[in-house]
Structure 1
């Protein structure tokens, strides 16, 4: 009794003592305590940064895939300073600077350590205090190339490397990139050769020094170097040098035939005939024929980075996947680099970009990348037509248009940062590339129709991109400028024409396929794939049942994609599952195709056993319309405008 009573009294006293504090806490309206603010990041000003930054890269640690960096940064005064690691990368269209690959940052001044603090709101910014009397900072750090694709894009292998300067430097905040001068030096592995748009200044042994350039030009001028290297002159005796700088996993991959070299030279000729002007004093294709270096296709003003299959030359007949890459990236020298969207023309690499005009920047480049590939011989006309059929079919089935307009996909590089998506047909992705290609075909054939074939999109290209010959200074543009240039070719309500296709959304919205039929062809489907699709998907190890069952498989019968709303979708299939059996037999692509054909008889089912993780289940697909593969079919009695578009230009 006493013990119980004392316990009750003690509990009451505890509650009474705690109540005021609890009540006070509930009643408190005080703001939470915040950490002391760091010095504000200075806004970029269009004024010169004092002095020239020295940037030394040691690229010889091939075994560990480590680039060692020494940066010498002149400073004009003591006190607070902010350094940036580049975040918003041109051509990547988003805030994707691989900051996690930068390590070991040590900053000193007059031999003494200078501490840095990362900005927690802008984590690509580093705050430091420059000590009194210091005239320069020494920055030592490393760029750690991923050692496998699972970690990111590999930039160094035992046979080759790719220096992308934006991954290997810090730069002072408060200035436009074009007003910061940098003097770069690279120590290459012994005996290696390199290609770059930078101009060499001097060489001592393996140490190559390049002429000083501003930061914008530097980041726009990457380097490919390798043990196996070949340079090909693509414009002999031309108005300015155009070169292919090729590195390869093996020396045999460099063996191009005379016919293949001529095709690459045709590419340069057809670009000249399209635009008429050059906005570069030299142009360097950087080409890696590799299975080891990370894949890339990235544009620059006077160069481009291109990874292709090692058998790009030696397996020409069976390797089609990279055929339009070089034409696409070179086209960007005019479309995207010289003329660039105004909302992407920002002061420095930590200023957010907007992507509202990527359907021009990338969509029109996708269009001309394929067109010029056909005109030059990188693709035959038939291959280009078959490729276009595949693109048209993909967007004819892109049901995500029911809720999401093409215009909104221009935000994808920022919101998705190019991560894979499971339900591509419903989620949509960077559709401004290939659906944009279809829009520009629509524009091209409309111009041809309205002018009786006297004018085409080529006239727009020459008027919009092929002016101010020799000018390197970027020329920004807005939507209204595109419309005005189109009206300069032929009068039309181009603003409404474009917006109707860019903003189309809802259950009645359709893919922009009018350009095909106005071009004299229609999209249709046959029971066998075209020769182009068969070869391409053989190269990629894909098996396509998208337009029948609504799925695509890869190696080991793994389901790579499922079309939203298709028979496979309705049966509960999803990407990542594996087809184990087809109608009671071990799964093979041919057996699945045979089952689809047999099921044209409504009484014959298609029964699959699928593996989903550790679980197996049986799925019956309700589909009876046979195999379907896209192709283009000529519309009798109509002008073959598409055929003319793909024909080489003679002048």
Structure 2
């Protein structure tokens, strides 16, 4: 190994570490409140991270990844970066597109070395931003070689699994360093990747060669590279599902070949999806679109949008046990809609210069919420979801938010901002905390409300379809992202149907307090109403997959999927009022060894009687017996028709003929 070269700047940075205790011991040193101010106050040469500028980075970064170390789950990266002499900062992506938070897994990056002119150049991590690495490039060095490893995880306890014996999900933004001081779309990268022998892959990138397991791609800007992940695997199939040409494809990888078995009828439904999206938006903002689909329980679960592709995982039996997949068929329609809403058009505060400029989430209820709405609608219009499935799914959403107590203290809009703390960070008592996913599903109720309001106000001559076509379907063939603001959204809605849209939206986004209610007016205006039942139809069971262990609307908790552990304790529900918190395990029900079926039978038997439901609970070495005075039976949400009203849900879910 070449000797380590300590340049003057780096040496000064290393030696300056002794100045910190001196500052604490000197009573004459004034307090400073800003971290950068503190750095300037110390006798140290703290480099500043250059702000991104909209100018081309000189030269092309050569990038090579090797994903063949499947047993040890190590992805090795080799980059050659054109440079000039002087200070330089390399960045690891922090704010990942679609995560809406600073979630870049830099904790998994190791072995970072930088070589220039045949000698090692020492780097120093920034003392404030751990995603930045400072270098001092010696005179005469015109390129540096950067090597490191992404130590991917064997399970999804902290970070999702991206490598299995049969599948690799290559997400470039998690295995790249790039120069600070430039917009992402001004940095050119020539990427290649080595795959295990015999593997194939899907990606939106353009392949120039694929020889001896090495795929080489046309040079692209960093933005396009990051926006074009790869699913690669030993069992792979690419299928054209574009009725108008060869532009939209399913790229399927699976744990075994027999799972890659979509039938002609199933593929016809995905062709319908493409057709119905074309009829909704009236334009495409991609030259080709690649659904990356992993049929696996070994790869970490994902549904992530990109402009010309999406990453999606489902169960291995998704196609071979089609009836059981009814509740999962909305994933691909949702991610496909993101090509229009979230990628081509996206909230202006999410159009950041690069991946280390913080994004803001003020309009996630549009980015994700309206996408959730259109994803469900397109699933129904294409036939991927029957009308009964679509209605059952809507009932589950309406029931959840109708019973949610968290809006007493926290408005829906705050879940957008809270997401910056971490992508979908879980918390105790989710019904009280409110989940960051509320900007998906509750916001979808708001857009149903808007759709039915337009339909009612225009005597059903116009709908939210008209807004989607005018707002997202402009400029067919244009790829360049465009931002939108709240005011532009309001103006576009007013162009379809004049109304106080700003007030309409703010009332629903900002509603908080004991009188705040879930936005269910759209369901009523569509000719339906929410009711509660004690048993489910087969269709409802297929949608509410965990129904056998779901007692949240009766006793006020659920049983975890793999044990009798109590979870999702509903705030101020029956269990909560008995002093039960998270972490207890159900041992017995009325003196009988517990399982979900025994508990369901006990709740049903107590309905309308004076019988109490007695549960024996265990937490560590503690046991406790509690008695529920609950006699209303099992409760599940259902939508029923309002007699004599127009069925606007049927009209919304009906396929468009043009």
Q: TM-score, normalised by structure 1?
A: 0.94
Distance (whole Å) between structure 1 residues aligned to residue 86 and residue 510 of structure 2: 50
Preserved CA contact (<8 Å) 1:71 1:138? yes
What is the CA deviation profile of residues 268-308 of structure 1, one whole-angstrom value per residue up to 9, with x for unaligned ones? 11111110100000000000000111111000000000011
State how 1:123-272 maps to structure 2 within 5 Å: 123-238=130-245, 241-272=247-278
8 Å contact from structure 2 (residues 91, 177) kept in 1: yes
Equivalence for 1:460: 467
2:594 corresponds to 1:587: yes
Q: Map of 1:110-509 to 2, 5 A cutoff?
A: 110-238=117-245, 241-430=247-436, 431-509=438-516
Tell me whether 1:527 sits opposite 2:534 in the alignment. Answer: yes
Cα displacement (A) at 1:574: 2.4
Instruction: Give the distance between the partners of 1:199 and 1:124, measured in 2 at CA.
Output: 29
Moved more, 552-561 or 323-332: 552-561
Question: The residue matched to 2:466 in structure 1 has which SS?
Answer: helix
Deviations 1:166-194 (A, max 9, x none): 01110000000000000001111111010
What SS does the aligned partner of 1:620 have? strand
Offset, 1:429: 1.5
- Please say if 1:82 is aligned against 2:81: no
Q: How far off is 1:28 after superposition? A: 3.3
**CA deviation profile, 1:569-598 (whole Å, cap 9, x unmatched):** 111222332111111111122221222222
Kindly indicate whether residue 106 of structure 2 is the aligned counterpart of residue 107 of structure 1. Answer: no
Indicate the SS of the match to 1:88: coil
What residue number does 1:64 align with? 72
CA distance in 1, matches of 2:389, 2:494: 32
Per-residue CA shift, 1:243-274, capped at 9, x if unaligned?
00000001111011111111111111111111
CA distance in 2, matches of 1:288, 1:26: 57
Secondary structure, in 3 states, of the residue corresponding to 2:582?
Answer: coil
1:564 correspondence with 2:571: yes
For the pair 1:42 / 2:47, whether they are aligned, the reply is no
Task: Report the equivalent of 2:17.
Answer: none
Distance in 1 (CA, whole Å) between partners of 2:43 and 2:506 is 47
Q: Which residue of 2 aligns with 1:574?
A: 581
Shift of residue 515, structure 1, vs aligned partner:
0.3
Separation in 2 of the partners of 1:248 and 1:218?
Answer: 24
Work out whether residues 51 and 180 of structure 2, in 8 Å CA contact, stay in contact via their aligned partners in 1.
yes
Is this contact kept in 2: 1:61–1:67, CA < 8 A?
yes
1:549 maps onto 2:555 in alignment: yes
Query: Does structure 2 retain, via aligned residues, the 8 Å contact 1:52–1:180?
Result: yes
CA distance in 2, matches of 1:253, 1:576: 37
Query: Which moved further from structure 2: 29-38 or 129-138?
Result: 29-38
Q: Which protein has the larger Cα radius of gyration, Structure 1 or Structure 2?
A: 1
| CA drift at 1:319 | 2.6
| Alignment of 1:630 onto 2:641 | no
Distance in structure 2 (CA, Å) of the matches to 1:541 and 1:105: 48
Distance across 1 between alignment mates of 2:112 and 2:26: 46
Indicate the SS of the match to 2:323: coil
Q: Which residue of 2 aligns with 1:22?
A: none
User: Is residue 202–residue 231 contact of structure 2 (8 Å, CA) maintained in 1?
Assistant: yes
Q: Which consecutive unaligned segments of at least 5 residues does structure 1 have?
A: 1-24
> Which consecutive unaligned segments of at least 5 residues does structure 2 have?
1-23, 32-40
- Match of 1:562, SS state, is coil
Secondary structure of 2:334's counterpart equals helix
Contact 2:54 2:182 (8 Å CA) reproduced: yes
Aligned Cα root-mean-square deviation (Å): 1.5
1:70–1:27: structure 2 CA closer, same or farther, 3 Å change rule? closer
- The CA deviation at 1:601 is 3.5
- Per the alignment, do residues 40 and 635 of structure 1 end up closer, same or farther by CA in structure 2, a change over 3 Å counting? same
Deviation at 1:37, TM superposition (A): 4.2
> Retained in 2: the 8 A contact 1:542–1:552?
no
Separation in structure 1 between the aligned mates of residue 251 and residue 641 of structure 2, nearest angstrom: 40
User: d(CA) in 2 for partners of 1:614 and 1:644?
Assistant: 57
Give me the whole-angstrom Cα distance separating, in 1, the residues matched to 2:628 and 2:544: 24
CA distance in 2, matches of 1:144, 1:180: 25
How far does residue 236 in structure 1 lie from its aligned partner after superposition? 4.3
Q: TM-score, normalised by structure 2?
A: 0.93
Deviations 1:323-362 (A, max 9, x none): 1000000000000000010000111000000000000000
Deviation digits for residues 540-575 of structure 1, max 9, x if unmatched? 585111111111113332212111111111112223
The question of whether the paired residues in 2 share the 8 Å contact of 1:94 and 1:417 is answered with yes
Preserved CA contact (<8 Å) 1:537 1:543: no
**Contact 2:243–2:275 under 8 Å retained in 1:** no
Structure 1 residues 542 and 219: CA distance shift in structure 2, 3 A: farther
Distance 1:502 1:306, change over 3 A: same
Q: Give the distance between the partners of 2:192 and 2:557, measured in 1 at CA.
A: 51
Q: How does 1:576-615 map to 2 (within 5 A)?
A: 576-615=583-622
1:16-49 per-residue CA deviation (whole Å, 9 max, x = no partner) reads xxxxxxxxx9993424784624111111110000
1:574 and 1:28 mapped to 2: Cα distance? 48
Q: How far did 1:83 drift? A: 0.5
Contact kept, 8 Å, 1:166 with 1:219, in 2: the verdict is: yes
- Displacement of 1:151 after TM fit? 4.0
Given the superposition, is the C-alpha separation of residues 533 and 559 from structure 1 closer, same or farther in structure 2, using an over 3 Å criterion? farther
1:111-163, Cα deviation, whole Å (9 max, x unpaired): 10000000011110000000110010100111111111224111111101011
Aligned partners of 2:190 and 2:217 also within 8 Å: yes
